[in-house]
Amino acid sequence: MGHDRIAKPSLADYLAVMSRAVFQAGLSWAAIDGQWDQLLRAFNDFDVQKVAGYDDGDIEQLMATPGILHSKQKIEATIKNAATIRALDKEHKGFRNYLRSLDSYDELTADLKRRFKFVGGISAYYFLYRVGEKVPPFKQWIKTVEGDHPRIEEMVGG
Q: What's the mean pLDDT in 65-70?
A: 94
Over pLDDT 70: what percentage of the chain?
A: 92
Tens digits of per-residue pLDDT, 136-155?
988 888 888 777 666 676 66
Residue 96 in any domain: the answer is yes
The pLDDT value given to residue 82? 98
CB 89 within 8 A of CB 95: yes
The pLDDT value given to residue 140? 85
Tens digits of per-residue pLDDT, 83-117?
999 999 999 999 999 999 999 999 999 999 999 99
Q: Is the pLDDT assigned to residue 47 strictly greater than 60?
A: yes
**Number of domains the chain is built from:** 1
The band of 1, judged by pLDDT with boundaries at 50, 70 and 90, is very low
Residue 4 in any domain: the answer is no
CA-only gyration radius of the chain, Å: 15
Q: Is 66 exposed, middle or buried (0-12, 13-18, 19+ CB in 10 A)?
A: exposed
**Can you give 12-50 as a three-state secondary structure string?**
HHHHHHHHHHHHHCCCCHHHHHHHHHHHHHHCHHHCHHH
Q: Is the pLDDT assigned to residue 54 strictly greater than 70?
A: yes
Summary mean pLDDT of the chain: 91
Residue 6 in any domain: the answer is no
The distance from CA 34 to its chain's CA centroid, rounded to whole angstroms, is 17
Encoded amino acid at 152, one letter = I
Residues spanned by the domain of 129: 11-155
pTM: 0.92
Give dist(CA 158, CA 150) in Å, integer: 9
CB 116 within 8 A of CB 79: no
Residue 31 in any domain: the answer is yes
CB 109 within 8 A of CB 136: no
The closest alpha carbon to 2, from 22, 17, 23, belongs to 17
Q: What's the mean pLDDT in 14-21?
A: 96
Residue 112 in any domain: the answer is yes
Residue 1 in any domain: the answer is no
The pLDDT value given to residue 143? 83
For residue 46, what is the domain's CATH number?
1.10.340.30
Residue 27 in any domain: the answer is yes
